[in-house]
Structure 1
Amino acid sequence: MSDTIPSGFTLPVQVVEAAGVSAWLAEDHSVPVISIAFSIPGGAALDPAGQEGAVALASALLTEGAGGMDANAFQEAMRDNAISFNFSADRDEFSGSFRCIGDALPEATRLARLALTAPRMEAPDIERVRARAIAGARQALENPRGQAGRAFWSAALPGAYGHPPGGTAESIATLTADTLRGVPARQLRKGGLLVAASGAITADQLKDVMAALFGDWPSEEPAGLPRLPPFSATGVTVLPMESPQSAAVFGHQGLAVDDQDWEAAGVVLRILSGGGFSSRLMLAVRVERGLAYGIGAGPEPVAGRSLIIGSVATENARMAETLSVLRGEWARMAASGPTAAEREEAIAYLTGSQPLSFTSTRQVANILLALRRNNRPLDWLSNRPARLAALTRERLTAVAARVLLPDSLAVVVAGKPVGL
C-alpha cells in the first residue's frame, strides 16, 4: 500500500502484524537509519490521586539501568551503538521511541526490551531523577506562563487529565520506589497499543522487533482509564503574581479528532491564530497595535477529543486591551469566516508545505503514529490535497461558526494585569 504526498513525494506505507499487534511501516533504505515509535492509552491519566507524576517519573527511569546493567552501563551501551531512546507520559498516553542505525537494530531491540521489562529503578537513580523532576516542576511555575497554563488545564479538565503530566513538586516528592516500580505492570498493555516505524527496516525485521518488545504484554487495555470530563473553565481568572508582564492562556472545547470537520477547522484556525504573521490574531495584536510579541492558538488533542488553546504575554497595563482584541477577532471569524484570499493562501500553504514534515525517519514515524492515533485511513495523506481544495469558503464559514465559541472563551491570566 502507498500514500502519495504533494509535489511528487511518495511515501510507501505497509501494514505489518506480529504478536497480536499491528504497525504502519514506511520502509526506506536510502539512509541507514531506523526510527520506531509506539503509544498506549494512559500516561498521566493513570496516576492515582496524590501520586501525580508517577507514570512520568517511572518513564524517565526506564533507561537508568535495566537487567544486569546499572545506569552507567546502560547509557554507555546506548552511546557505543549510537542508539537514542525516549519514554514519556503525556496527559492521555504513554509513549516510547528509539532511533538507531541499521546495524544496531538487534542491540537497540535488546536494550528496549530490557528497559520495558526489567528496569532496575535503584534508589540512587530514583532520587537523582526525582530531584531533576522536582526542579523542573518548580521552574515551570516561576513565570506567569507556567502559572497560567497549570491553572487553565486544572480548571478546563478537572481530575486526572487536568493535572500536570509530570506532577507537582509536592506530589513527586511523595512517590515511593514501590509505586514507581509498579507503573510498567499497570501501563504496558497491548490494548490500544499503536506502533509506527520508518527507515531502513524490512517488514520481517519489524515483526521480530514487535514480537520481542510487545509479545509478552497482556492483551487488555490498561485498567482504570478515566473518562474525559467536559470542558469546565469559564470566564476570566486572574492569578496575582509579581511580574512586569502578564501571561494569558485561553481556550474552549474543540472537536473530536475524528470529527468530519477536523481538517476544515484546522484551516480556519491557521487563518485565525496559527499562521505566523499572516494570522488574524498576529496582525491585530502585534502588527497593527504592538500589544504583544506573539499570540497563537491551535487544537490540543486529549483522549480522542480536543481543546482549542492559545497563549499571549504582554505588559500588565496592556493585557486588558489584548484580550479585548482577541475576543473581537475570535467573534469576527466565528460570524463571517475567512475571506476568499485567506482561504486560498491557507490551503496553498498547507498543501505545498506538507513534504517538509517528512525530512527524517523520526518525523515520519511520529506522523504515522499520529495518523493512527487519530483514526486516519492509510490514504489520508495522499488524498489530503484534494480534500483541502474541496473546502469552499462557504464550508469554512459554516465550520468557523460551529468550532469557534467566543462566548465560551475562557481565560486565565497570571501577573498583575491592569483593569481585569
Structure 2
Amino acid sequence: MAAAGVGLVSGTAPSGFSLPIQTVEVAGTSAWLVEDHSIPVVSIAWSWPGGAALDPAGQEGAGAMAAALLTEGAGPLPAADFADALRDAAISLGFSATRDAFEGSFRSLTEALPRALDLARLAMAEPRLDPEAVERVRARGVAGARRVLETPRGQAGRAFWREAFPDHPAGRPSSGTAESLAALPVEAIRAAIARQLRQDKLLVTASGDLTAGQLRTLLPRLFAGLPAGAPPAPPALPGFRAFGQQVVPVASPQSTVVFGQDGLDAADPDWEAAQVVLRILAGGGFSSRLMQAVREERGLAYGIGGSLEVLFRHGIILGSVATENARVAETLAVTRAEWARMAEAGPTEAEVADAVAFLTGSLPLSFTDSRRTANVLLSLRQNGRPADWLEGRPARLRALTRERLAAVAARLLRPQALAAVVAGQPAGL
C-alpha cells in the first residue's frame, strides 16, 4: 500500500463557526474528512467525472439505470435480501448519475460501518442486474420520463437544455427518455458500470464519527474490486448557445418559463462576486429584484428566481417563473428589464450589505448533519476548490465593493443573450 498522509485545514466563518477539514491520502486516493464524534453516525460520499455525459447517443439514461440498479441486488444478495440488509442495519446507500458525474454515498451508525462498507463495495463491484430488477427499474424510469413531460415545467426544462447544448450530452435528459430507456439493453447498463466505476479519478469526502486513521483504513476496502484506470474523459462542454426565445405548445392555463444565459467558470476570480450579484438580482427570495418587480409590484407570478447551476466546472445562470398565459409577455419583459438594469448600474450599497451578510451568516446551515457536510464537501471538490476555500470565504465576500460588483454585473449579465423557453399557450408570443 502506498504511503498515506493527513493534513488539517480549519475553515472558519462568522460567529465562531469552524470546520476542520482533514485531507487523508491512501493508495492514490485522497479524501476530505470532518470529524464529529458527538453523534455515532458516519456519512461518506464519492464521485467520478462522467455521469450521463458518458452515455452513448441513443442510450440516454444508461448511467441513471446503472446507478439505480446498484442497490437492486449485489453479490450473493438478490434485491429483496440486499434491501433487508440495508434496513436491518439502518444504512442509507444510494447512487446517481448527474449530467457530469456519477455519485455514491452512504450514511450509517458507527457500529454498522463495517456492514455499510461491505454492502457499498458489493453494490459497486458485484452488481447482479437480475432480469426482474432491470425491468422493474426500467418501468419506473420510463414512467418518470413520461411524467416529466406531462407538465409545462418539464417540457420547458427539457427544451432549454436541448437548445442551449444541441450537440453535447449536456443537452440531453440525464435520466434518459421514455424511448431510450425502453430500448436500453442490459449489456449497455453493464457497459456503463464498467466504464464509470474505476479505481482512479475518485473524489471522496466523509463526515461524522470517524478518525483520519479509520478513514485511511476503510478507503481501500470500500473500493476493492473495481477495475484499474479512470473513466473515459467526457466531451468538453461547448459554449452556451444563446438561442433566443422558444415556445413549446402545452395545453395549460399557465405557462412555465425557463430562462438563462452563460455564466462563469468555477475557477473564475469573479465567481463569488457573481454569486452576490445573482443573489441580489434573482436568488434572494422576497428581497431579490426579480421578486420585487414581478410579484410585489405587479403581481405577475407567485414566485421567480434563478441561480448558477454548475456542470463540468462551469456555471450556467438558470431561472424559472410560472404565470398565466395572458401575462407571460409582460413577465418576460420585466425580467429582461431588471436584467438590463443590474448590468447597467449594478447593485446598491444596501443590497450588497444584505447579500454579503446573508451569504456569510448562513454558511453554517450547510453543515448541520454529517450527510449534508459530506455532500457539500464533495461539491467543493468537484468544483476544484482547495481545502482552505471555506476558511477564506467570509473575508473574500466582505471585501467585495459595490464598484467591483457593478463591474462583474456588467461583465456577467447580457440581456440580449438571455435565452428563454416558454411551455404553455402564451398570449402574444
Match for residue 305 of structure 2 among 296, 302, 305: 296
- 1:70 aligns to 2:78 (yes or no): yes
Letter paired with 1:418: A
Structure 1 unpaired stretches of 5+: none
Query: CA separation in 2, counterparts of 1:263 and 1:240?
Result: 37
Letter paired with 1:201: L
Query: CA separation in 2, counterparts of 1:392 and 1:104?
Result: 50
Task: Indicate the residue corresponding to 2:3 in structure 1.
Answer: none
- 1:263 aligns to 2:272 (yes or no): yes
Q: CA deviation at 1:50?
A: 0.3
Task: Indicate the residue corresponding to 1:186 in structure 2.
Answer: 195
Task: Indicate the residue corresponding to 1:384 in structure 2.
Answer: 393
Task: Indicate the residue corresponding to 1:414 in structure 2.
Answer: 423
Q: Secondary structure at the match of 1:306?
A: strand
Task: Indicate the residue corresponding to 2:43 in structure 1.
Answer: 35
- 1:53 aligns to 2:61 (yes or no): yes
Asked if structure 2 preserves the Cα contact closer than 8 Å seen for 1:62 and 1:115, the reply is yes
Task: Indicate the residue corresponding to 1:280 in structure 2.
Answer: 289
Query: CA separation in 2, counterparts of 1:77 and 1:370?
Result: 29
Asked if structure 2 preserves the Cα contact closer than 8 Å seen for 1:66 and 1:118, the reply is yes
Asked if structure 1 preserves the Cα contact closer than 8 Å seen for 2:162 and 2:172, the reply is yes
Q: CA deviation at 1:260?
A: 0.4
Query: CA separation in 1, counterparts of 2:367 and 2:384?
Result: 20
Match for residue 234 of structure 1 among 243, 261, 264: 243
Cα shift readout 1:347-386 (whole Å, capped 9, x = no counterpart): 1111111111110001110111111111212221121111
Q: Secondary structure at the match of 1:243?
A: coil
Query: CA separation in 2, counterparts of 1:83 and 1:356?
Result: 24
Q: Secondary structure at the match of 1:230?
A: coil
Query: CA separation in 2, counterparts of 1:284 and 1:51?
Result: 43
Task: Indicate the residue corresponding to 1:88 in structure 2.
Answer: 96
1:327-406 equivalences in 2 (<5 Å) = 327-406=336-415
Asked if structure 2 preserves the Cα contact closer than 8 Å seen for 1:152 and 1:233, the reply is no
Query: CA separation in 1, counterparts of 2:62 and 2:259?
Result: 28
Letter paired with 1:392: T
Query: CA separation in 1, counterparts of 2:189 and 2:242?
Result: 32
- 1:144 aligns to 2:152 (yes or no): yes
Higher mean displacement: 29-38 or 374-383? 374-383
- 1:114 aligns to 2:122 (yes or no): yes
Task: Indicate the residue corresponding to 1:167 in structure 2.
Answer: 176
Asked if structure 1 preserves the Cα contact closer than 8 Å seen for 2:124 and 2:226, the reply is no
Q: Secondary structure at the match of 2:170?
A: coil
Query: CA separation in 2, counterparts of 1:10 and 1:254?
Result: 30
Query: CA separation in 1, counterparts of 2:233 and 2:265?
Result: 22
Asked if structure 2 preserves the Cα contact closer than 8 Å seen for 1:333 and 1:400, the reply is yes
Higher mean displacement: 128-137 or 226-235? 226-235
Query: CA separation in 2, counterparts of 1:266 and 1:8?
Result: 23
Task: Indicate the residue corresponding to 1:311 in structure 2.
Answer: 320
Query: CA separation in 2, counterparts of 1:217 and 1:124?
Result: 25
Higher mean displacement: 277-286 or 219-228? 219-228
Q: CA deviation at 1:89?
A: 0.3
Asked if structure 2 preserves the Cα contact closer than 8 Å seen for 1:19 and 1:215, the reply is no
Query: CA separation in 2, counterparts of 1:42 and 1:381?
Result: 26
Q: CA deviation at 1:278?
A: 0.1
Q: CA deviation at 1:219?
A: 4.9
Q: CA deviation at 1:19?
A: 2.3
Letter paired with 1:74: F
Letter paired with 1:53: G
Task: Indicate the residue corresponding to 2:5 in structure 1.
Answer: none
Asked if structure 2 preserves the Cα contact closer than 8 Å seen for 1:20 and 1:215, the reply is no
Identity of aligned residues (%): 63
Q: CA deviation at 1:213?
A: 2.2
Asked if structure 1 preserves the Cα contact closer than 8 Å seen for 2:13 and 2:360, the reply is no
Provide runs of 4+ in structure 1 moved above 4 Å: none
Q: What root-mean-square deviation, in Å, do the aligned CA atoms of Structure 1 and Structure 2 show?
A: 1.0
- 1:7 aligns to 2:15 (yes or no): yes
Letter paired with 2:159: A
Letter paired with 2:74: A
Q: CA deviation at 1:218?
A: 4.4
Aligned length: 420
- 1:214 aligns to 2:187 (yes or no): no
Asked if structure 2 preserves the Cα contact closer than 8 Å seen for 1:254 and 1:305, the reply is yes
- 1:244 aligns to 2:269 (yes or no): no
Letter paired with 1:85: L
Task: Normalising by structure 1, report the TM-score.
Answer: 0.98
Asked if structure 2 preserves the Cα contact closer than 8 Å seen for 1:281 and 1:296, the reply is yes
Structure 2 unpaired stretches of 5+: 1-7
Query: CA separation in 2, counterparts of 1:112 and 1:19?
Result: 19
Query: CA separation in 2, counterparts of 1:223 and 1:88?
Result: 18
Cα shift readout 1:183-218 (whole Å, capped 9, x = no counterpart): 211001244311000000111221222101235444
Asked if structure 1 preserves the Cα contact closer than 8 Å seen for 2:55 and 2:192, the reply is no
Asked if structure 2 preserves the Cα contact closer than 8 Å seen for 1:91 and 1:162, the reply is no
Cα shift readout 1:137-173 (whole Å, capped 9, x = no counterpart): 0000101110000000011112211111100000000
